[in-house]
Amino acid sequence: MMEQPGHRSMNTIASTRIMTDQDLAGLGLQCVAYVKRIQIGGGNAYSIHAADGTEIAIMVNRDIAFATIREHDMEAVSAH
């Protein structure tokens, strides 16, 4: 069976590796930060991390976390 352009075969998908925080940082992602929902004291909070996984800050509101990242001239992404 021929692979169509733009489509991945099952072998391609299976061979995709998960990138570590250090891998992402090595790609020059110093200007990227991600937001991750965490639990603190029984409630939700949002931690901001550099691409290498270093925690930068914790915010009580997701929108404020993203605004804080943008305020520091960084690109924000969400982590699940």
The token pair that represents 13 in the structure block = 């998908």
Domain count, the chain: 1
Tell me the residue length of the chain: 80
pLDDT tens digits for range 7-26:
555 554 555 567 666 766 66
Task: Please indicate, yes or no, if residue 8 is contained in any of the structural domains.
Answer: no
In tens, the pLDDT along 27-49 reads 656 788 999 999 999 999 999 99
48, β-bridge pairs: 35, 57
| Residue 56 domain boundaries | 20-79
The confidence band for 52, taking pLDDT boundaries of 50, 70 and 90, is confident
Does residue 63 lie within any of the structural domains? yes
What digits encode the pLDDT tens for the residues 53-70?
Answer: 889 999 999 999 999 999
Specify if 13 maps to a domain: no
